[in-house]
Amino acid sequence: MAEANRSLVLQAMGCPDHHWARVRQVHGNQVVELHADSHQVGTESPVCEGDGLVSDLPSSALSVLVADCVPILIAFRTGRTVGVIHAGWRGVVAGVIDRAVRALQVTFRTSPSDAVAAIGPCIGGEAFEVGHEVAEAFERVGLSDAIDRSRCDHPNGKPHIDLASAVRCQLLRAGFAPDAIDAADQCTFANSELFYSYRRDGEESGRQAAVIAPRHD
């Protein structure tokens, strides 16, 4: 994201002087804990790989970039400890959500029962056709309810995955209360006027940014 756009986002969030923190996303389950002495994250060329960031630093805005994958924002009710997650299907299966929640619990002594989560726009189940091996990977981690196999009865039919549903299931398992999870019912693939979509636009696709910052008052 260009510096000018980052500045506009931070101004809109009411924290124009915050450091924009991000990592090099790799569709895995690595979560980076951002502390006062952290130097492994940056705005232009992050040297640290990961798909999640957690922090209680009031001077940092945590971000991930998405274009069909699921952006997840987590905040504890005090507002002083937050996290952001990039969860594609590989990250979901690899347990990136659980890793981020555990990092928040262990490092910052927080509890999911005292947190809220937002699931941002992502590719919807109608558009997310996958191979049978992907559906089997979801089954192995107990996410069968997110799989739609109704199309498999047709010639060349393949399963479809509801990523947002899978993410919600994992957040519930991690200890979040059902009414503490908010999900945007918007498909990035279907809404070309609002969202970028890698599956729809290919290599030319841009990216949405999901950003969160600890309370700084």
Alpha-helix residue ranges (DSSP H) falling in the chain? 3-13, 89-94, 96-108, 132-140, 163-173, 198-201
Is pLDDT of 2 > 80? Answer: no
The CATH superfamily assigned to 3-212 is: CNF1/YfiH-like putative cysteine hydrolases (3.60.140.10)
The pLDDT confidence band at residue 37, using thresholds 50, 70 and 90, is low
| Cα distance between residue 119 and residue 188, in whole Å | 13
| Cα distance between residue 13 and residue 19, in whole Å | 13
Question: What pLDDT is attached to residue 216?
Answer: 67
DSSP codes, 69-126? SEEEEEEETTSS-EEEEEE-HHHHHHTHHHHHHHHHHHHH---GGGEEEEE--B--TT
Environment class of 14 (CB within 10 Å of its CB; exposed 0-12, middle 13-18, buried 19+): exposed
The domain locations on the chain are 3-212
pLDDT tens digits, 45-93: 565 899 999 999 988 999 999 999 999 999 998 888 999 999 999 999 9
The pLDDT confidence band at residue 38, using thresholds 50, 70 and 90, is low
Tell whether pTM > 0.85.
Answer: yes
Q: Are residues 90 and 129 in contact, defined by beta-carbon separation less than 8 angstroms? A: no
